[in-house]
Chain A
Amino acid sequence: MDADATEPIRQRVLAAAGRGSPVRIIGGSTKQFYGREVPGEPLNMAAHRGIIAYDPAELVLTARAGTPLAQIEATLSQSGQCMPFEPPHFGSTATLGGAIACGIAGPARAYAGAAKDFVLGVTLMNGEGQSLRFGGQVMKNVAGYDVARTVVGSLGSLGLLMDVSMKVMPRAPQSATRVFELGAQAALRQMSEWAQQPSCISATCWVDGRLFVRLSGSDAAIQTAAARMGGEAHAAGGEFWSAVREQSHAFFGGAEELIRVAVPALCAPQTFSGECLMEWGGSQRWLRNRSDIEAVRAAARSAGGFATRFRTRDRSGDVFEPVPAAQMRLQKTLKAVFDPRAIFNRGRLHAEL
């Protein structure tokens, strides 16, 4: 199953570049809904797969882009380690390349870091079929501009992610979930108070008038924290966090429009009306079935944040927050550095890229 498909992929890239015809990058087809509609022939990365290097004592894993996330998680789990940013799978075929290109993180993000915090190095195939290595396979590396972290969340707009080296971490020995009956405003205040103290909180989620808090660490640490914080024990914590991460929680069910808002954590709940699920201490908020994206964007902007049409029927307009003109000029120039003929995922992130 594991195979290095660099050469056939390179041939596809050279052919596409020769014709100047765009390609649509596909991994496990689990996140195709995300971002703007893309023209072009599909370029499937799933055959380029396999873990290239992993030594638990190094805390570094390198794998080809098409490697299933499930395979990576199973391998890490055998050594008691994990990807701390808890990338959502959204399906059993999800790949590492897709997770990094989308840059989406799960419930632990506010406490453990985002995908970009764990990427150490990448091999990127540019629009001329050259394999370029950026970053490295070591913890600290400041040689050259940090292209490896720049491609995280770029949705394939700079080039093909061929392989990724990332920092992995030990999994906490134990986890437990506490639940509190709290209104949205009180929940935000409570999470902010906790965040100012040392704690073993590893995830927070507020939905339907209840605040869920995951504690991770040794048994003793969890018990101490639980006694201090109060709340009730939630027996099905594992299932709950998995459902939030994978958006299989009832909140997400049947939503045709799902807006993701990133705002400073203390942003007042009434800034956004309608059904809302809050994560990450309040800095990630999901809004269900609101179609007035412009109003949401204006509210998010005035609070110092931004809004994304995470799942939407209309993928032709601005799915992501529009970028100011000066920055867009820069982003277009950067795209051209790597993809001069604009063949990769044309317009997936922004119409101009």
Chain B
Amino acid sequence: MALIDELRRALKRQAVLTAREACVAFECDALTAHRQIPDIVVLPESVEEVQAVLRICRAHGVPVVTRGAGTGLSGGAKPVAGGVLLVLSKLNRILELDPLRRIARLQPGATNLSISNAARPFGLFYAPDPSSQIACTIGGNVAENSGGVHCLKYGLTFNNVLQVKILTIEGEALTIGNEMQETCGLELLALLTGSEGMLGVIVEVMVKLVPRPERTELLLAAFDDIARCAEAVAAIIAAGIIPAGLEMMDAMTIKAAESFAHCGYPADANALLLCELDGVSADVDWQILRVSELLRTLGATLVRQAADAAERDRMWSGRKSAFPAVAKLAPDYYCMDGTIPRRRLSEVLAQIAALSQQYGLPIANVFHAGDGNLHPLILFDAGKQGELHRAEELGADVLGLCVAAGGTVTGEHGVGIEKLGPMCLQFNADELNAFHAIKAAFDPAGLLNPGKAVPTLARCADYGALHVHQGKMPHAHLPRF
């Protein structure tokens, strides 16, 4: 085949995989229910090689799907049949780290955690910390505009990226952004961040490093009522305090996390709040006092402050292992990712519980409460006929609830292939057309990651037929309270 020959001439021979047994390792990202064995996998080792791959694919009219570490949760890196999977994991070097300028310049395959590790000797760190940070790559983080537990205070990937270098599908190199993070012309960096590999291939990223806080403290609070816990979250923020992390868990998650991680959570609590406060020492002093007092006033049954770094790590370990802990409760779980206005929290949780009952599938809830980002975990057994499909239907309904509450179908995991349907609930045809036109401005032939991130209008027509009956809003059958 001419395409494969050309790729083999442009790259090292072993950097082009076509054998099924080699390609199968790349058949999916972390959305494992959707697989496609790629026909061709390329693993370039330089920007020039990436450029060559793109020019060859462009000339042949062959689709290109870019992949970093494959930790994405929405199927954004799922291979496309007949296409080339462009794996950037070998481009994993830290090109420059300058403590004076507080920047790091990275190849796209550098892992998120490697940045903070390299910055640590200088008292600096890279703030966004998605839970997959040990494996996920900075290129993937930019493509998804990844979040993490510290977003409310430190921002998303967008707020921490200074500059990216991309290659267009034509192989043309563009440098977007600058060290000052100042807009020059149209703010294209915003458009590229979170564009899910649809507009260009990221080949270099410059990020901002920030000083490690002088002091960090962690409070744990237990509640016997999840609504009261949600009130406490609102009260902390209304009191003028922006915690570094503010995480909530429901009863099912607390029990699962405690038996998994033995982290000292009160297993009989109905809701648990972890509140991390950081900053200059004198500010943390008053914030700890104020938050503890608020938590007690608002009915916390237990308020505990970690005595030292070891206890803090132990208290975090439960939250950080919540997904694998919940995974022990059933053969499979499906992680959702919607964001809602915080004031609707109790109401939406009740609606989620009602859906869970209706579908007969349990749902455990963990969330970034500070920014209203929910991660309902749907438990199911893919071995049972039709149960995966039911879980996906339930998931889509949960996202419908988020949109109806004034929120979004994805807070930080991206649309990928997973949320193409629910996107139709959030955006109308004119808005979707604008997205398609933006895509065409960068990639007129539609070769970069085709079929992801933005649904076609035809797909929305089908989805609407399923989800809107007789012109009624979705979920009209659910009680509203």
- Which A residues form the contact surface with B (CB < 8 A)? 55-60, 79-81, 103, 113-114, 116-117, 126, 130, 132-134, 136-154, 157-158, 169-171, 173, 192, 195-200, 217-218, 220-221, 223-225, 262-266, 283-284, 304-306, 320-321, 323, 326-328, 330-331, 333-335, 337-338, 349-350, 353
Question: Are B182 and A338 within 8 A (Cβ)?
Answer: no
Query: What 1/0 mask marks residues of chain B from 352 to 375 whose CB sits below 8 Å from any chain A CB?
Result: 000000000000000010111100
Range of interface residues on B (Cβ < 8 Å): 35 or more
Q: Which residues of B contact A225 (CB under 8 A)?
A: 280
Question: Are B371 and A224 within 8 A (Cβ)?
Answer: no
Residue from B145, B280, B435 with most neighbouring chain A CB atoms (10 Å):
B280
Query: What 1/0 mask marks residues of chain B from 450 to 469 whose CB sits below 8 Å from any chain A CB?
Result: 00011000000000000000
Given known pairs A138-B340, A218-B282, the reply for A147 and B411 (CB within 8 Å) is no
Question: Are A173 and B240 within 8 A (Cβ)?
Answer: yes
Q: Which residues of A contact B61 (CB under 8 A)?
A: none
The stretch of B32-40, B81-89, B186-194 that contacts the partner chain: B186-194
Extra contacts besides A132-B430, A139-B152, A306-B182 (8): CB < 8 Å: A55-B341, A116-B187, A117-B158, A143-B415, A169-B242, A220-B286, A327-B174, A337-B434
- Per CB-CB distance, the 10 closest pairs between chain A and chain B, nearest first, are A139-B371, A149-B190, A170-B240, A220-B282, A140-B411, A57-B234, A221-B282, A333-B441, A141-B408, A337-B437
The stretch of B206-214, B266-274, B295-303, B378-386 that contacts the partner chain: B206-214
Question: Are B411 and A103 within 8 A (Cβ)?
Answer: no
Question: Are B237 and A57 within 8 A (Cβ)?
Answer: yes
Contact check: which of A57, A126, A283, A335 meets B180 at CB < 8 Å? A283
Given known pairs A132-B431, A198-B211, A263-B180, the reply for A150 and B187 (CB within 8 Å) is yes
Q: Does B134 contact A (CB under 8 A)?
A: no
Question: Are A154 and B187 within 8 A (Cβ)?
Answer: yes
Contact check: which of B179, B193, B343, B423 meets A55 at CB < 8 Å? B343
A-B contact pairs, 8 of them (CB 8 A): A58-B234, A137-B406, A200-B280, A221-B282, A264-B101, A266-B100, A304-B179, A330-B441
Measured CB to CB, the nearest residue on chain B to A154 is: B186
Question: Are A198 and B279 within 8 A (Cβ)?
Answer: yes
Given known pairs A145-B435, A196-B100, the reply for A323 and B185 (CB within 8 Å) is yes
Given known pairs A173-B240, A197-B211, A320-B184, the reply for A138 and B427 (CB within 8 Å) is no
Q: Which residues of A contact B181 (CB under 8 A)?
A: 114
Q: Complex Cα distance A218/B288, Å?
A: 13
Q: Complex Cα distance A335/B438, Å?
A: 10
Question: Are A217 and B282 within 8 A (Cβ)?
Answer: yes
